[in-house]
Structures are given as structure tokens and as C-alpha cells.
Chain A
Amino acid sequence: MVNQLHFSDRLKDIPWAATSSSLENIKRKDVETALQREGRGGVQDLIALLSPLAAEHYLEEMAQLSYRITRRRFGKTVRLFAPMYLSNECNNICDYCGFSMNNQIPRKTLTDAEILREAGMLKKNGFDHILLVTGESSRKVGLDYLAHALDLLRPHFANLSIEVQPLEQQAYDTLIEHGMHAVMVYQETYCPHSYARHHLKGKKTNFDWRLNTADRLGEAGVNKIGLGCLFGLTEEWRTDALFAGIHLDYLEKKYWKTSYSMSFPRMRPYEGENIVSVELQDRDLVQLICAFRIFNHELEITLSTRENQLFRENILPLGITTMSAGSKTNPGGYAEPEESLEQFSVSDERSPREICSMLKDKGFDPVWKDWDKAYDEPKIRNLLSPVEKECLTA
């Protein structure tokens, strides 16, 4: 019998302040133990690795270990994907996002023809793994729109994932039957106070509804769930990251057939910018990535085009398994190089080809395809009528 409690129930028993102070109370011995047993001590080791003490004295050792674990598990490969923005319609007001409803920007939702045009551009650039992104508007980009977009794109790509508004479990069941592989759903921040400060209006104001999305996905049996915080929203970023780790640990034990990815986005400038963000330094981000790699050897860690070229190249070997390249963050951006309407500005503007040759120069194999449509076929066939099924068998 599956435990019916969700992560919000678990979170009630983990007070923010006590979790924060656990990071401050770390001793040298704790970090050394975590390094020595390669993070196999679970959340206890993550606390040690995320601590200020680890940052001060052990960053190089963490980087060395993170590098070794990543090579052992993933070899010298980096998977490439591209986001495809389908819509910038959004019913939320969030003070850090370019799509926020109160931003006076032209709104656009791609038509079938436009979606296929974007697909053509991405295909030409070699992409086989696509992440479909929308703002959060159930009316403009609801379940039917998303299922239809998956149907349109499925013949052309090996792997389709989404990053859209949180949905009900039944909706995820349906999207899986349309060929959806993974869902990225970033909590943005695990601190309820900070969450309330930055999410001002719309369904996204409901902290628990968003938090329990990963449980609904786990119950739907999705292949992969992407987690993460938006660093810059909450001052105590170590605590925020630790909560993301606790969430990951909880999910992995409960939904053991699902794999997990994590992303570490830092705030970037966007249209209508009006908040002072907490700045996450380069060395902080290095610590985050290394800590999570040592904590979870199998975790897919994604590096965003938000980061600049030099930093991306340097951090690449330390734990990264997946990156986007040549990203456009506005709907229709690949076919039309119009740069308005974007969610955030991209910092690494190199083309997929340039990224690819950079990877090869550094001794990595770029991997464009790491999935196949055939893997999803049994689920998709649930959708077919008995007659259609018979035709296929024949």
C-alpha cells in the first residue's frame, strides 16, 4: 500500500530555523566523513557538504571527488537538449519572472504551424531531446493543448519533456500516454515566507500545491522528475538547497522507479526587473553542484544557458551531465530571431555546433539521443482503439 502522505506533510516536521542551524553546527569531522564515504551517509552528509565550513576548507576536495564520481557513473558524456517555449501566457504574478501577468509584454502561444517550424529548426541543429516550456495558464495552454503539442512533436523527436504549470495526477497520466517523458517542476524556494513574498497572485501562490506536484508525478509513474530552487530568491540559499536535497531523498525512496534531475538556476535579468536578488557567487554554485553530486551519484545535473561561456566550460567537468545549447526563451524564438518576450536572457549565446565542438575539444562526447520512441510505445498504445491496436499487431 502506497503511503498517502505527501511531501507537504513531511515538511511540517522540518522547521526552517533548525535546518538552517544544522548547517552552522557542522564540524570538520562531519565533512571529512562525508567525503571519505563518498556521501553515502545520506542527508546527514549533504548537510556537511553544503555547510559554510565545507565551503571554506574543503571545496577543492569536493570538486575532485565530484569529478571522479561523475566520470565513474556517466563517463565522459554530456547530454544535450533544447527548450522550446510554446507560450508566454501566464496567470501568475511573480516578482522575478519575465512572463509575470503584470508585465506589459505581447503574449503569444504557438500555433501548430509555428510549433512545427520550431521543431524543424531544432531538428536541423541536431536536437533529439526537447523540453517544452510554457507560462502557467490553464486556459491558454491547458491539458488539451499540451497533449496536442506532444502528438505533433512525437514523430520528430526521441524524448519530450515539459515545464509547465503543475497539473493533477490524471492529467499527467494522460500526458504520459501522449509520449511525455519527464516533468521539470521547480519549487523556486522551499522557504514558505520567501515563497509568499515573491509569488503574489495566481495559482502559483499555493505553496503546497506546487510542492506536492512531484508526488503526483511519482504516483503517475513518470520517467523523470526535475527539481530545483531559483537561487537568488531566498537569502539562506544553503538551507534552501538542503530542503531540495531532503525532497529528492524523500521522492527517491518513495517513487523508486523514477529518475531525478536537478538544476541550479541563478537569477538573471529579465523584462520588468524590479527586485533586488540575493547574489549567489560562482564558488557557491560550485559547492552546490559538487555537494549534490556527492550526495546523489546518479542525479542528472543540468547546466543552464543562463550561465556565461567561461563559467560553463569550467564547471562542466565537476558534476554536470546535461546542458542546453543555443537556447531561445521566447515562444517562436528559433524560427524568428526576435528577442523580446523572453522569460530571461541567455548568457551563453553560442550555437549548438559551437557547444558541440567545445565539448569535443574538452574530451567529452556530446550525446544528442539517449532515449527512443519505442520505449514509450506500450503506454502510447493505451490510447489506441481496439481496431487500431489490431492493425498494428497485424
Chain B
Amino acid sequence: MVTVAMKRANPNSNEDSILDYLPQDRVKILPNTSGVRDAKEAIFVAQMAREALETNWLKLEIHPDPKYLMPDPVETLLATEELAKQGFTVLPYCHADPVLCKRLEDAGASAVMPLGSPIGTNHGLKSREFLKIIIEQSNVPVVVDAGIGAPSHASEALELGASAVLVNTALAVANDPPSMGTAFRKSVEAGRLAYLSGLGSTHRTAQPTSPLTAFLG
């Protein structure tokens, strides 16, 4: 699945449309609202996306701050509520805030997309402790979005139980983006398999491998 900012999509141009690079038989297009500053704008852009790309799916991004692109929790919640009512499959990008994620779920979000670290930073899962709580509590898929800068970060997110990751910068700035894509695919598969296989817990000291209660028979 590939997410596309509606401001960059140019369905009327045969030269400048990012859509031309995405073979729609192989990838599902997920329009996003990047660039909007409040719920009102997001709703307009969502409606346009639905019309232009013929999909109800929407990655909801509301970041009024153009510097760090921090998601606005209040506007995101309002827009999720309204768009879910309008029949959208809403995937909101949000802070790694467990309460907010539950509120979004209650408002009708089909998944939640908490951030690992600020977008574009490649810093990995700085929000790890909160992501664990979100994953534990969530009834909808958790997709870790933003900050994933290396395959090991993606692997870690999946090991924690996240359903998916969303990656851009790490691929876009790689010297060889297709190979980096392969690396990410493998890391996600490894992380998911590890999660399903049941990871051992971690300890600070060595643990005896021989059982202490064997004498009980």
C-alpha cells in the first residue's frame, strides 16, 4: 500500500502525476491529507480524494506545524469522527498517546497510526513505551508511522506487535531505494514471525535454564 498526498496527485496531468509511478494492479493507493491544518480542511481534501481516486480509504494527517509536522490531536479526533460518519475508512496519523488512540478507535478509526519519532528524523521507536501500551490496548490495527529510519526499526515495531509500518524517508534518501525496499520487506517479515513465534522476555542478569522445581515431580 502506498500513501499519496493529495496536493501532489495530479490526475489531470500525464507528466507530473506521482500516480503514474504506482502500478495500481500491484499497489493499493491510500490518499492522505498532508498539508491541511485543521479538521475542516481535512474533510474537504478527503472528499476530493474520494472523488479523484475512487476510494473510501484515507490516511488522515493534520499537522498545523510545518516545521516538525506534529499531528494535531484535537483536530484529528474531530475529523475522524466526521469522516467515519461519512463512510470513510479512516487511518489517522497521531501521537503515540494511548488515550488518544482509544478515543480515535471510539470515534470510528479503522486503524491508528502513532508515530515512532518525529517524521523524517529516522530516529526509530523513541516512543517505544507508549507504543507497547497502544498495541496492548488496541482493538484496531496499529501501524507505526514516522521516524522509521532503518530496517531494524521496522523489525522492532513488528516484534512489538504492530500490524504494519509506514516508511518513506529511509527509502527515499537511500542510495539504492529498491534494495532498501527489499531490506525493509525482509525485516518486516522477520519481526512479524518473531512476534508470532513468541519472543522471550529480556532480563538484566543471567537466568538458570535448569528448572528449580523439577524435584516436585
Chain A residue at smallest Cβ distance from B168: A75
A273 to B37, CA, bound (A): 45
Segment 339-375 of A: residues with Cβ below 8 Å from B:
366-372, 374-375
A63 to B122, CA, bound (A): 22
A367 to B10, CA, bound (A): 11
CB distance B67 to A256 under 8 Å? yes
- The segment from B41-49, B83-91, B135-143, B209-217 found at the interface with A is B41-49
B66 within 8 A of A: yes
Chain A residue at smallest Cβ distance from B69: A298
Interface range, B side? 20 to 34
Chain B proximity of A83: nearest CB distance (Å): 19
A258 within 8 A of B: yes
A71 to B172, CA, bound (A): 9
Q: Among the interface residues A370, A377, A378, which one has the most CB atoms of the partner chain B within 10 A? A: A378
Which chain B residues border A257 with CB–CB below 8 Å?
A: 37, 64-66
CB distance A372 to B6 under 8 Å? yes
CB distance A375 to B7 under 8 Å? yes
CB distance A367 to B16 under 8 Å? yes
Chain B proximity of A140: nearest CB distance (Å): 33
CB distance A369 to B16 under 8 Å? yes
Which chain B residues border A128 with CB–CB below 8 Å?
A: 10, 16
Segment 18-43 of B: residues with Cβ below 8 Å from A:
35-37, 40-41
CB distance A369 to B8 under 8 Å? yes
Which chain A residues border B41 with CB–CB below 8 Å?
A: 375, 377-378
Give per-residue flags for B170-205: 1 if the beta carbon is below 8 A from chain A beta carbons, else 0.
Answer: 001100000000000000000000000000000000
CB distance A367 to B48 under 8 Å? no
CB distance B35 to A72 under 8 Å? no
Q: Of B13, B48, B122, which one neighbours A372 at CB under 8 angstroms? A: B48
CB distance B6 to A374 under 8 Å? yes
Chain B proximity of A292: nearest CB distance (Å): 15
A368 touching B10 in the complex, CB below 8 Å, given contacts A257-B66, A374-B44: yes
B56 within 8 A of A: no
Q: Of B65, B67, B173, which one neighbours A72 at CB under 8 angstroms? A: B173
Q: Among the interface residues A71, A252, A259, A369, which one has the most CB atoms of the partner chain B within 10 A? A: A369
CB distance B66 to A258 under 8 Å? yes
Chain B proximity of A88: nearest CB distance (Å): 31
Which chain B residues border A377 with CB–CB below 8 Å?
A: 41, 44
A333 to B108, CA, bound (A): 53
What DSSP secondary structure best describes chain A's contact surface?
loop
Chain A residue at smallest Cβ distance from B64: A257
A126 within 8 A of B: yes
A256 to B6, CA, bound (A): 23
Q: Among the interface residues B37, B66, B172, which one has the most CB atoms of the partner chain A within 10 A? A: B66
CB distance B67 to A370 under 8 Å? no
Which chain A residues border B7 with CB–CB below 8 Å?
A: 158, 369-372, 375
Q: Of B8, B122, B172, B173, which one neighbours A367 at CB under 8 angstroms? A: B8
Which chain A residues border B15 with CB–CB below 8 Å?
A: 126, 368
Chain A proximity of B6: nearest CB distance (Å): 6
Which chain A residues border B48 with CB–CB below 8 Å?
A: 372, 374
Chain B residue at smallest Cβ distance from A76: B172
B55 within 8 A of A: no
A12 within 8 A of B: no
A1 to B173, CA, bound (A): 41
A76 to B41, CA, bound (A): 28
Q: Of A71, A252, A375, which one neighbours B67 at CB under 8 angstroms? A: A252
Chain A proximity of B78: nearest CB distance (Å): 13
A371 to B66, CA, bound (A): 14
Give per-residue flags for A62-92: 1 if the beta carbon is below 8 A from chain B beta carbons, else 0.
Answer: 0000000001110110000000000000000
Q: Among the interface residues A72, A298, A368, A375, which one has the most CB atoms of the partner chain B within 10 A? A: A375
Which chain A residues border B169 with CB–CB below 8 Å?
A: 72
CB distance B45 to A374 under 8 Å? yes
Chain A proximity of B174: nearest CB distance (Å): 11
A73 to B121, CA, bound (A): 9
Which chain B residues border A158 with CB–CB below 8 Å?
A: 7
Chain A proximity of B17: nearest CB distance (Å): 8
B73 within 8 A of A: no
A73 to B66, CA, bound (A): 12
Chain B residue at smallest Cβ distance from A377: B44
Which chain A residues border B122 with CB–CB below 8 Å?
A: 72
B120 within 8 A of A: yes
Chain B proximity of A260: nearest CB distance (Å): 8
A378 touching B8 in the complex, CB below 8 Å, given contacts A72-B169, A257-B65: no
26 cross-chain CB contacts under 8 A:
A72-B120, A75-B173, A126-B16, A158-B7, A256-B65, A256-B67, A257-B64, A257-B66, A366-B16, A368-B15, A369-B10, A370-B7, A371-B35, A372-B7, A372-B48, A374-B6, A374-B45, A374-B47, A375-B7, A375-B36, A375-B44, A375-B45, A377-B41, A377-B44, A378-B40, A378-B41
